[in-house]
């Protein structure tokens, strides 16, 4: 049963923990004791399953590897300040930002540090690994490129801007051909040379005066670039020229999900939108009970999303109808992305309270990755 603690709005009382949709397998508590002063009540890491290892980062401990079928610890890498970004994995190494201001590369097999680089900024994007390089954006608008194997600094681009107010987080760079695309806190999307980080072009996406951040990961599909700004709009841009094709008046900090002719937007206004990809026509929308949504995870039948407020939701992908809601406690919710093992129909979700959940996704059949 879900927690019956005090709560805020309850606009979907008809939704329950329907075992025909999700079946909880186990939970693993990564946080014990009271949080230290100054430690935010959020966990930004995404759990990742790779063969026989489930790895995640926590703010209270550091990097943890588990045996996923047993929910038992395999190894732990303590990090001062914990892990404060989402994880990226490539060639047996996991990359992430630490609360100590370093960017890390860690051996996934044994938890040994391959290399680390001092960024002097504890807030970094999810790393992007491509072509033997790793790219990150920091919250003070610096985009870095490193050799993914050695950690050697290759270049960085520093934005000269001073924003009066920004939100926590940074845009994960997108590598497309010979350019690196990243959103910045001053409302711009920049295109940088993959070779030396020189500015190739820039596009202003947000013209507001507060919270102009473009923190979402850009997504390219069919020659069109899709990216939202935090409290502004979702933009569809021509990939080559960055000219605006259409603009939808709802923003966010999470990347959109695209399937076929549909686009799914987890908006910072607390609503999940399904849009016609070529026109931004609203096909359906689902309002969360409160908070802002995580990145959307898609399956054959469902959209799975968490709220920073209290709940985990499962929606019908075609209609937007709610199918499942799990109450994990008022004020807990989710901040990082979910992950899945499609071949085994498993879902992993890590709450801001430091609890890792494992679920079986029902009624989907065994799917190949």
Q: What is the pLDDT of residues 242-294, one digit of tens each?
A: 999 999 999 888 999 999 999 999 998 999 999 999 999 999 999 999 999 99
**Which DSSP letter does residue 155 get?**
E
| 298 found inside a domain | yes
Buried b / exposed e across 140-165, counting CB within 10 Å, b at 16+? bbbbbbbebeebeeebebebeeebee
| Residue-averaged pLDDT of the chain | 88
CATH number, domain of 334, equals 2.40.128
* pLDDT > 70? residue 165: no
Give pLDDT, residue 369: 40
Provide the β-strand partners of residue 158: 142
* pLDDT > 90? residue 368: no
| 151 found inside a domain | no
Give pLDDT, residue 364: 72
Start-to-end CA distance of the chain, whole Å, equals: 31
* Contact between 56 and 68 (Cβ < 8 Å): no
Q: Name the band, by pLDDT with cuts 50, 70 and 90, for residue 135.
A: very high
Q: Name the band, by pLDDT with cuts 50, 70 and 90, for residue 79.
A: very high
| 169 found inside a domain | no
Q: pLDDT (tens digit, 9 = 90+) per residue, 307-345?
A: 998 999 999 999 999 999 999 988 789 988 999 987 778
CB neighbour list of residue 123: distance below 8 Å, 6 or more residues apart: 84, 85, 97, 138, 139, 168, 169, 170
C-alpha span between 74 and 58 (Å, rounded) = 15
| 94 found inside a domain | no
| 334 found inside a domain | yes
Q: pLDDT (tens digit, 9 = 90+) per residue, 200-251?
A: 999 988 766 566 778 888 999 999 999 988 767 899 999 999 999 999 999 8
Give pLDDT, residue 34: 47
Average pLDDT over residues 58-82: 93
Share of the chain above pLDDT 70, in %: 89
* pLDDT > 50? residue 83: yes
| C-beta pairs of 246-252 under 8 Å, 24+ apart in sequence | 246/279, 246/280, 247/280, 248/273, 248/275, 248/280, 251/206, 252/216, 252/228, 252/292, 252/293
Q: Name the band, by pLDDT with cuts 50, 70 and 90, for residue 3.
A: very low
Buried b / exposed e across 254-272, counting CB within 10 Å, b at 16+? bbbbbeeeebbbbbbbbbb
Give pLDDT, residue 39: 43
| 344 found inside a domain | yes
* Contact between 328 and 355 (Cβ < 8 Å): yes
* pLDDT > 80? residue 17: yes
Give pLDDT, residue 38: 40
* pLDDT > 70? residue 299: yes
| 307 found inside a domain | yes
Joined together, the tokens standing for residue 130 give 């491509």
Average pLDDT over residues 167-180: 86
Give pLDDT, residue 163: 54
Q: Name the band, by pLDDT with cuts 50, 70 and 90, for residue 166.
A: low
CA contacts within 13 A on the Cβ side of 1 = 3
* Contact between 272 and 282 (Cβ < 8 Å): no
Give pLDDT, residue 232: 77
Domain carrying residue 8: 1-30+293-364
Average pLDDT over residues 37-44: 60
C-alpha span between 119 and 135 (Å, rounded) = 12
Number of domains in the chain: 1
Joined together, the tokens standing for residue 178 give 């010979």
Average pLDDT over residues 105-116: 97
CA distances (Å), origin 359, targets 50, 327, 339: 17, 14, 11
Q: What is the pTM of this model?
A: 0.90
| C-beta pairs of 88-91 under 8 Å, 24+ apart in sequence | 88/126, 88/127, 88/128, 88/129, 88/134, 89/48, 89/50, 89/55, 90/129, 90/134, 90/148, 91/148
Q: Name the band, by pLDDT with cuts 50, 70 and 90, for residue 170.
A: confident
Q: Is 249 exposed, middle or buried (0-12, 13-18, 19+ CB in 10 A)?
A: exposed
In 3D, which of 33, 96, 26 has the Cα closest to residue 66?
26
C-alpha span between 104 and 127 (Å, rounded) = 10
Average pLDDT over residues 177-184: 93
Give pLDDT, residue 330: 82
| 328 found inside a domain | yes
């Amino acid at each position: 049963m879900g927690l019956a603690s005090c709560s805020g709005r309850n606009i979907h009382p008809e939704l329950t923990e329907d075992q025909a949709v999700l079946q909880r397998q186990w939970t693993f508590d990564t946080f014990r004791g009271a949080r230290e002063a100054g430690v935010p009540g959020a966990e930004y890491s995404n759990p990742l399953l790779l063969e026989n290892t489930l790895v995640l980062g926590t703010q209270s401990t550091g990097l943890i590897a588990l045996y996923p079928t047993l929910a038992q610890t395999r190894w732990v890498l303590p990090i001062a300040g914990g892990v404060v970004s989402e994880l990226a994995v490539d060639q047996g190494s996991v990359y992430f930002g630490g609360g100590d201001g370093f960017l890390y590369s860690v051996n996934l097999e044994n938890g040994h540090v391959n290399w680390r680089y001092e960024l002097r900024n504890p807030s970094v994007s999810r790393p992007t690994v491509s072509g033997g390089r790793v790219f990150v954006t920091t919250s003070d608008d610096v985009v870095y490129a490193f050799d993914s194997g050695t950690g050697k600094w290759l270049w960085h681009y520093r934005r000269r801007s001073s924003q009066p107010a920004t939100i926590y987080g940074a845009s994960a760079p997108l590598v497309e051909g010979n350019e690196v695309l990243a959103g910045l806190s001053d409302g711009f999307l920049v295109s940088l040379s993959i070779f030396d980080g020189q500015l190739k072009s820039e596009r202003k996406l947000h013209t507001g005066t507060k919270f102009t951040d473009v923190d979402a990961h850009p997504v390219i599909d069919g020659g069109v670039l899709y990216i939202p700004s935090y409290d502004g709009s979702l933009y569809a841009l021509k990939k080559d020229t960055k000219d605006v094709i259409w603009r939808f008046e709802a923003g966010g900090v999470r990347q959109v999900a695209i399937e076929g002719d549909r686009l799914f937007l987890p908006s910072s206004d607390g609503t999940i939108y399904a849009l016609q990809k070529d026109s931004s026509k609203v096909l359906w929308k689902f309002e969360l009970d409160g908070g802002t949504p995580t990145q959307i995870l898609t399956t054959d039948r469902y959209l799975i999303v968490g709220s920073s407020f209290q709940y985990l939701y499962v929606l019908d992908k075609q209609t937007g109808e709610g199918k499942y809601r799990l109450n994990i406690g008022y004020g807990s919710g989710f901040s990082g992305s979910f992950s899945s093992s499609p071949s085994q129909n498993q879902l992993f979700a890590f709450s801001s309270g430091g609890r890792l959940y494992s679920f079986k996704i029902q009624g989907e059949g065994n799917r190949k990755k």
